[in-house]
Structure 1
Amino acid sequence: MKYLISNIVFMLLFSSMSIAQTYKNPLDISFGDPYILKTSSGKYYMYGTGGVKNGFLVYSSSDLKEWKAEGTAYSNEQKNAWGEHSFWAPEVYEKDNKFYMFYSAQWKVNPTNELEKFNIGVAVSDSPTGPFIDVSGEPIFDPGYPIIDANVFWDNGKVYLYYSRCCYKNPVKSEIADWAKWKGIFEEVEESWVYVVELKKDFSGVIGKPILLLQPPTQMNTDEWESRSVTSKEVGRRWTEGSVIFKKNDIYYMMYSANNFDGQNYAIGYATSSSPLGPFKKSVHNPILQKEGLVTGTGHNSITYDVANEKMLCVYHGRTEKTGHDRMVFIDEMEVLEDGRLIIHGPSHAE
């Protein structure tokens, strides 16, 4: 009996450890905004911000643990390139035996010399390793303000593009903005917001007008974690960005990141809706991933699945004392509990 109990305790401890330390975090890949595509063949390809000028690198893996550098997947040194610099947040989707990369960059068309003239484009390739070539010489659409962080979602025969309006020139009235001005910290507080718009099925443009889905709270004591970049006197901006959506048990889950991507308070929350077009309600359990122990700056995640397609995995970037200011890739298990709550078993750290 004693032997049986010892075995049970060991199994429970091993199970707990296997959840917390599924992958040796951080991976030896310095990416911001990491995105992992699991292809129809079962092989994995990772893309992210950084590592090459004016483009994107790609890594491949068969098990999510050992990764091979495959070189540059996208470069703006091509005839259709519309981006000038600031190439960020690539996501790649497999469709009809082709691969489509959605990404953000500074648009060359900038007659008023805006500091942030960011937009979203799409490039196509016959291979997940590229080369990806822009489908046209311009972004998908121009909403009249800078946008980043594309996420594409198919639902009931329609295609939706989720994106974030940049903070740039978007000062917003709120209690936190009034507080920051009263304290003499910041004259104004700019914000970024998450929108959705329907995409044409060939990705050549959009259908209808964008719908606002998520933005920072207007009250001081609501979702306090989303205002820490301001309350810590770091910067006069509040972000709602890096959205990624999935559907589970007829509920649409939108994960998003808040606070400064370049700071320690970057963190992940989520909101739910009965429709991909919202309205979305933020979880009372937010944030579901934030700095802990030696790991800080945890955010801008994507979602993939393990080799057996049984476990949902959260792919995100973070920093450690050892890696310094470089953003590194982390992978941890995530799951939807029976009560509908979304949790991430992280940040785990194996250094």
Structure 2
Amino acid sequence: MIKNVSLQIRDPFVLPVKREGLYYLFGSTDSNIWGRGTGFDVYTGTDLEHCEGPFAAFRPGPDFYAEKNFWAPEVYEYNGRYFMFATFRRKDNELLGTAVLTAAHPLGPFLPHSEGPVTPVEWSSLDGTLYVDEQQQPWMIFCHEWQQTGDGEICAMRLSGDLRQAADKPVVLFRGSEAPWTTPYSSIKYQGQENYVTDGPFLFQADDGTLYLLWASFIHNTYALGIAHSEGGGIAGPWIHQEQPLFHQDGGHGMVFKTFENKFMLAVHSPNQTPDERPFFLEFIEEKGEWKTAE
């Protein structure tokens, strides 16, 4: 396990750029991420233990559509440019949504690309992540928030080829209560019913081509990370959940990347309390169809 004790980051996301020999570390970097948003920083390093930065990857202009809750930036190389998918709380209706920003380089500066959030305007949605399928169709996988639905949803939505807008209505892949490892989140009640959180989806393919989906929820009010695989091979699923969580030491919002040595690594933050959250990197291993961390 590698833990960077000096960095306060939630929702860590690592972009390896092999031609530069650099890892770019993004995340929710405001010291109080529950309040006013100042932007997103990025750190760079030739390994996962030492880094340089912070560098200002995104700073909102005066006309930006949001001013608080700047969360979970993820950066992808797509069609020769870099695209950031990030969550913001809108000024006009106070709902969360995921927008797309773009830059010529991972260091930025990232500028708005979509017209506000790509997620439905009437939904409270967060943690959008990009997945491009075998037909080169881009998708956004995101959460329809439990505070609006009660039983949080993981949804998928086709995007236009330029990533500026939705190309279809979202479909529900599964709900938080469907996994065998989750328990109701009772710290806050939504309409007096049992609530299940869905948080931080991320898709990746194993070396054998199997499609996996990481996502976070709670076990007895403690933050945890689980994984599911697509039995049908594509985004539509059906999604089969691994029986036990991958990480349940009050951490989650995971993503998977490959090191320059071609090893799978899992990135999470832990603990889940501000301002103590720190990024963790754990070697990620598949054994007999199930994933686990090396430690």
After TM superposition, the score normalised by the length of structure 1 is 0.74
Corresponding residue SS for 2:183: helix
Aligned position for 1:268: 225
Aligned position for 1:154: 132
Aligned position for 2:42: 58
- The letter of the residue matching 2:211 is Y
Aligned mate of 1:235, from 188, 195, 201: 188
**Is 1:167 aligned to residue 151 of structure 2?**
no
- The letter of the residue matching 1:247 is Q
Corresponding residue SS for 1:91: strand
- The letter of the residue matching 2:23 is Y
Provide structure 2 residue ranges, at least 5 long, that are not aligned to the other structure: 32-36, 190-194
Cα offset for 1:246?
A: 1.0
Cα offset for 1:214?
A: 2.0
Cα offset for 1:64?
A: 1.5
Higher strand share: 2
Counterparts of 1:113-128 in structure 2 under 5 Å?
114=94, 117-128=95-106
Which 4+ residue blocks in structure 1 deviate beyond 4 angstroms? Answer: none
Aligned mate of 2:239, from 245, 261, 280: 280
Corresponding residue SS for 1:88: strand
| Aligned-pair identity (%) | 23
**Alpha-carbon distance in structure 1 between the residues aligned to 2:171 and 2:294:** 32
Aligned mate of 1:319, from 253, 271, 288: 271
Aligned position for 1:332: 282
- The letter of the residue matching 1:335 is I
- The letter of the residue matching 1:254 is L
Cα offset for 1:345?
A: 2.7
- The letter of the residue matching 2:294 is H
Cα offset for 1:26?
A: 4.1
- The letter of the residue matching 2:201 is S
**Alpha-carbon distance in structure 1 between the residues aligned to 2:146 and 2:125:** 9
Aligned mate of 1:226, from 182, 189, 198: 182
Counterparts of 1:13-162 in structure 2 under 5 Å?
21=1, 23=2, 25-41=3-19, 42-51=21-30, 53-77=37-61, 79=63, 81-110=64-93, 114=94, 117-142=95-120, 144-156=122-134, 157-162=136-141
Cα offset for 1:84?
A: 2.3
Provide structure 1 residue ranges, at least 5 long, that are not aligned to the other structure: 1-20, 171-189, 292-296, 347-351
Q: Which has the larger radius of gyration?
A: 1
Corresponding residue SS for 1:169: helix
**Alpha-carbon distance in structure 2 between the residues aligned to 1:49 and 1:333:** 22
Structure 2 contact 124–148 (Cα < 8 Å) conserved = no
Counterparts of 1:180-195 in structure 2 under 5 Å?
190-195=150-155
**Is 1:252 aligned to residue 211 of structure 2?**
yes
Higher helix share: 1
1:204-256, Cα deviation, whole Å (9 max, x unpaired): 112222111121226xxx72x411533xxx33342111111112223211111
